[in-house]
Amino acid sequence: MYKIGVVGEKDAVIAFLSLGMTVKGVENAKEAQMAIDGMAREGYGLIFVTETIAKEIDETIERYKNSFLPAVILIPGVQGSLGIGLQKIKDNVEKAVGVDILSKKEG
């Protein structure tokens, strides 16, 4: 069974401890990169990263984008959603299906 990790601002990720996930509270981009790369080396299957942190380490997020493991999923941070995670999901669905089926279209 794969482990699940969460990387982000301490205030945003601390609650995930109660779900049995490994939590890495980080304060800057360097700490976040080290936490994600460390979890990947340790065989984590899923790593949640707050959008606030992810926008600072785009190259690290992109590095794992096409790899099977770990799956890196963006979640809202302390400031709420920045829309980055939803946009990445839309982009992936459009790539797989060939059309954007998630946008609300007025008709």
Give tens-digit pLDDT for 16-71.
999 999 999 999 999 999 999 999 999 999 999 999 999 999 999 989 888 888 99
Tally the domains of the chain: 1
The pLDDT score that the predictor gives to residue 81 is 64
Q: Which CATH number is 26's domain given?
A: 3.40.50.10580
Per the domain annotation, does 107 fall within a domain? no
Q: How many CB atoms lie within 10 A of CB 1?
A: 4
User: What is the rounded CA–CA span in Å between residue 14 and residue 12?
Assistant: 6
64 and 72 Cβ atoms separated by less than 8 Å: yes
Per the domain annotation, does 37 fall within a domain? yes
Per the domain annotation, does 106 fall within a domain? no
Per the domain annotation, does 66 fall within a domain? yes
Query: Is pTM beyond 0.85 here?
Result: no
Domain extent at residue 69: 4-97
Nearest CA-CA partner of 22 in 38, 9, 6: 6
35-50: burial string, b at 16+ Cβ within 10 Å, e else: bbeebbeeebebbbbb
Per the domain annotation, does 30 fall within a domain? yes
The pLDDT score that the predictor gives to residue 86 is 62
User: What is the rounded CA–CA span in Å between residue 31 and residue 37?
Assistant: 10
Q: If you ran DSSP here, which 8-state letter would residue 83 be given?
A: S
